């Protein structure tokens, strides 16, 4: 795909990035769960203490894909790159953009001296699972993900 440019994400890309995030949420039937904003993403990614980065796929001067990552630290392995999401807009899926974004992110993990890369995939997302298997990825079924929303944490401490 010579007509696609993969590049580091920039501040002015954020409105389109949030559109892609919402498109993914809609695909996953969870659009009502998206509470992020361009302003929050600006502070979190481009403020005084950036906590994430991203690559975009551009075609005909339009952002049609995204790979968003951040660092995590493993007590066993050290510095790891966590791939939060790869998103390719619906009309561009199946054309190799996900592969280009994934491989650029893999390369970036090596450039950053990470000991590896991690991500999650929904168990019903068979196309994504098959995609990751082509890279001989280890897809772990024994770990259960846990999370608390800020409102739940606040509620817990308000009850004490």
Residue with tokens 């890309």: 13
CB distance 106 to 96 below 8 Å: no
Q: How far apart are CA 79 and CA 115, in angstroms?
A: 6
Q: How far apart are CA 72 and CA 75, in angstroms?
A: 10
Annotated catalytic, 132? yes
CB distance 88 to 64 below 8 Å: yes
CB distance 44 to 58 below 8 Å: no
Q: How far apart are CA 106 and CA 91, in angstroms?
A: 24
Q: Which of 27, 69, 132, 135 is catalytic?
A: 132
Residues designated as active site:
132
């Amino acid at each position: 795909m010579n007509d696609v440019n993969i590049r580091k994400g920039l501040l002015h890309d954020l409105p389109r990035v949030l559109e892609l995030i919402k498109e993914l949420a809609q695909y996953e039937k969870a659009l009502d769960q998206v509470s992020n904003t361009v302003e929050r993403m600006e502070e979190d990614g481009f403020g005084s203490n950036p906590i994430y980065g991203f690559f975009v796929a551009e075609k005909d001067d339009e952002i049609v894909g995204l790979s968003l990552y951040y660092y995590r630290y493993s007590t066993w392995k050290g510095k790891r790159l966590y791939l939060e999401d790869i998103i390719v807009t619906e009309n561009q899926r199946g054309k190799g953009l996900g592969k280009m974004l994934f491989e650029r992110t893999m390369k970036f993990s090596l450039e950053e001296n990470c000991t590896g890369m991690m991500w999650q995939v929904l168990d019903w997302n068979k196309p994504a699972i098959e995609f990751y298997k082509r890279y001989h990825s280890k897809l772990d079924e024994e770990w259960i993900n846990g999370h608390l929303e800020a409102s739940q944490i606040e509620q817990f401490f308000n009850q004490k």
